[in-house]
Structures are given as C-alpha cells and as structure tokens.
Structure 1
Amino acid sequence: MTEEIQFYLSEAEESMQKAVQHTNAELTKIRAGKASPAMIEHLRVDYYGTLTPITQVANIAATDARTIMIKPWEKNMLGEINKAIKNSDLGLNPVQDADSVRLNIPALTEERRRELVKQVKNETESGKIAVRNIRKDVNDSLRKLQKEGTSEDAVRDAEAKVQKMTDSYIVKIDELLTKKEGEIMTI
C-alpha cells in the first residue's frame, strides 16, 4: 500500500475519532434529569462588553443530584449570569443568593424525556452523517489517486478498510445513543 493511501486512511481515522468525540460532547450538554456542570458550560455571559464562557468567570459545581451552584469570582457578575441562564434554552430558573446563583433541576416528565431522546437521536444522527461524509471525502481522494496511476486493487482494498472503519465508528455512535437514552429514560 502506498504512503499516500496510508496517509488518507490515517486522516480518516483521526477525523472519525473527532466526530465521535464531538457527538459525545454534544450529548453531555443534554440533561438526563440530574445536575451536571456540563449542562451550562456552553453558556456565555457579558463580561465587561465581551461574551465570555461562564467557566471563565465563575466556579460551577453540582452540590447534589438536583442542584448546580454557580459562584462568580466577581459579585457584579451575578446579574449577568442570571440573565444568561434566563435567556438560554435550558428552561431553568436561577435563584440568586448574596454571592452565588443556584439552579434547581426539576425532575423530568415523561413527555420531556421523550423530547430529550429525540434531541439525542438528532445529535447522534449528525455524528453519523459526519462520519459518512468523511468516508465519502476519503473515497473521492482514493479515486483521484487511482486516476493518477495507483493500482486499482490497492484503491479497492483501501476503500474496503475505510468502509470497515466507518462501520466501527457508526457502532460507537450508536453505543453513545443507547447509553444516553438509558440515562434519560431511567427515573
């Protein structure tokens, strides 16, 4: 197998791993009924005129299974954090104390659980599409190599390896879906 084919295969492997990691990161943002700091890490607050990730202006901790405590390093950030949470799509009501903001995570209803499962399925489908697009791009590159003179057998073998790789990463994404779906539907 030529170096060029090996290069494309290793690039595909790396890109597919990143697609699975991205899908996993997106799934951690979807709440499964229990408090997790990852639920709000994507929020941005106005910090002296600049939108800044909430993790850079406050300490975030899950104090118990139903509560997230946000303690800003500067007290004047309490209002901005409050506003960012209210304006987000989380659907949570922040409770402001003297020096912190508390988020009480309500128990999920059956209807809300089903909505979250749909959201999880959409995220995992996006991950699968990303993996398939990587496969398509690599196969196109391999066909170009064939036109440039690489043997047809070598290209066909490489395409088979890319397909096997694609199948294995699709299975990993399906495992993430099954795990997250189980977390959400468990009461």
Structure 2
Amino acid sequence: MSEDIEIDLDDLKRRMDGAMTALRQEFASLRTGRASASMVEPITVEAYGTQTPINQVGTVNVPEPRMVTINVWDKSLVNKVEKAIRESGLGINPQMNGTIIMLPIPELNEERRKELTKVAGQYAEQARVAVRNVRRDGMEQLKKAKAQGMSEDEHKLWHDEIQELTDSHIKTIDDALETKQSEIMQV
C-alpha cells in the first residue's frame, strides 16, 4: 500500500463503535419488567433554569427487583421530577413519599411487551443507519483517494476492509437486538 494515501479505518471503527454504545444505552432504558436505574437516565427535569438529568437532582436506587426510588435532594424539585417521569413515556406511575419518589415497576402485559420489541427494533435500525452513514463516509474517502491515484488493487482492498467492518457492526447490532427482544418477551 502506498504511504501517501491512507484511509483512517480506526476513525471509522471508533464512529461505528459509538453507534453501538448509543444503542446499548437506548436498550438499557427499555423496561423489561425488572427495575434498573438506567431506565430513568434519559429523563431530564427543568431545574435551576436548565434541563438536568434526574441522576443530577437526586439519588437513584433499586432497593428491590420491581422498585426504583429517587431521593430528590432539593424539596422544591420533587414535583418537577414527578411530572417529568409521568411525561417520559415510561408507563410508570410515580408515588411520592416526602422527597422520595418511588417507581413501582408493574408486570408487563403481552401487548406492552410487543410494543417494546418494536421500539427496540427502531433503536436497532437507527444504529444500523448510523453505521451505514459511517461506511458511506469511508467510501467517500476511498473515492477521493482513488481520484488522487490509488491503484485498483489497493482500492479493492480498502473497500473490502470497510465493508467487513460494516458487516461485523451490523451483525453485532442484530445480535444485540435479538437478545433484547428475547429479554423483553421473557415472562
């Protein structure tokens, strides 16, 4: 391979890994019938004039398998936190006990499980699109390099490397989706 024309595979891999990380975070926020502190991570509260993540206005705990508690530090924010949880789309009815907000996690019914598997599928598709966009950027770099005099053999080699990287990330996304969907459907 020529030294002057180089495709940054490490950058492409890092960006594809970023899509995977985002997907894992989105999957963690999906409710599977078991309590998890990560369920409330995406929720933000209007606090002190700015949108603030819940874990920065209180302590999030999981005292038992079907319960998440949030101990809000500032008493004036308790109602705002409760309202944010209600409007988050989690489908959980918060219960107040002073500055502690309890989130009892109900059993998921069949309909809700199917809904959640669809949501997981949408998250996975977003991750696939992100990976394909990175692949497209890599192919653009390759096209420019070919215009600068990259040989046909070298072009084919880089093309195969980028495609292999893309395929492995798409397979990882599909595997993660399958695992998450089976976890959601498990009764």
TM above 0.5: yes
Q: Deviations over 1:115-164 (max 9, x none)?
A: 10011111111111111111111011101111111212111100001111
Question: Which consecutive residues of structure 2, in runs of 5 or more, have no partner in the other structure?
Answer: none
Question: Which consecutive residues of structure 1, in runs of 5 or more, have no partner in the other structure?
Answer: none
Separation (CA, whole Å) in 1 of partners of 2:37 and 2:105:
11
Separation (CA, whole Å) in 2 of partners of 1:149 and 1:78:
63
1:61 aligns with 2:61: yes
Which deviates the most, 95-104 or 8-17?
A: 8-17
Decide whether aligned partners of structure 1 residues 4 and 104 sit closer, same or farther in structure 2, where only a CA change above 3 A counts: farther
Answer yes or no: is the 8 Å Cα contact 1:5–1:142 preserved in 2. Answer: no
- Which residue does 2:51 correspond to in 1? 51
Separation (CA, whole Å) in 2 of partners of 1:18 and 1:128:
12
Answer yes or no: is the 8 Å Cα contact 2:5–2:150 preserved in 1. Answer: no
Answer yes or no: is the 8 Å Cα contact 1:5–1:158 preserved in 2. Answer: no
| Distance apart, 1:4 and its partner CA | 6.2
Answer yes or no: is the 8 Å Cα contact 2:72–2:99 preserved in 1. Answer: yes
Decide whether aligned partners of structure 1 residues 2 and 103 sit closer, same or farther in structure 2, where only a CA change above 3 A counts: farther
Q: What SS does the aligned partner of 1:46 have?
A: strand
Map 1:69-108 → 2, pairs under 5 A: 69-108=69-108
Number of equivalent positions: 187
- Which residue does 1:184 correspond to in 2? 184
- Which residue does 1:39 correspond to in 2? 39
Q: What SS does the aligned partner of 2:143 have?
A: helix
Answer yes or no: is the 8 Å Cα contact 1:59–1:72 preserved in 2. Answer: yes
Answer yes or no: is the 8 Å Cα contact 1:16–1:169 preserved in 2. Answer: yes
Decide whether aligned partners of structure 1 residues 89 and 72 sit closer, same or farther in structure 2, where only a CA change above 3 A counts: same
- Let me know the Cα RMSD of the aligned residues: 1.4
Separation (CA, whole Å) in 2 of partners of 1:50 and 1:11:
33
Separation (CA, whole Å) in 1 of partners of 2:138 and 2:7:
10
- Which residue does 1:140 correspond to in 2? 140
| Distance apart, 1:112 and its partner CA | 0.6
Separation (CA, whole Å) in 2 of partners of 1:40 and 1:2:
50
Q: What SS does the aligned partner of 1:52 have?
A: strand
| Distance apart, 1:77 and its partner CA | 1.8
Decide whether aligned partners of structure 1 residues 6 and 145 sit closer, same or farther in structure 2, where only a CA change above 3 A counts: closer
| Distance apart, 1:99 and its partner CA | 2.5
Separation (CA, whole Å) in 1 of partners of 2:12 and 2:3:
14
| Distance apart, 1:48 and its partner CA | 2.4
Q: What SS does the aligned partner of 2:8 have?
A: helix
Q: TM-score, normalised by structure 2?
A: 0.95
Separation (CA, whole Å) in 1 of partners of 2:5 and 2:100:
55
- Which residue does 1:127 correspond to in 2? 127
Separation (CA, whole Å) in 2 of partners of 1:178 and 1:5:
39
AA in 1 matched with 2:94: P
Q: TM-score, normalised by structure 1?
A: 0.95
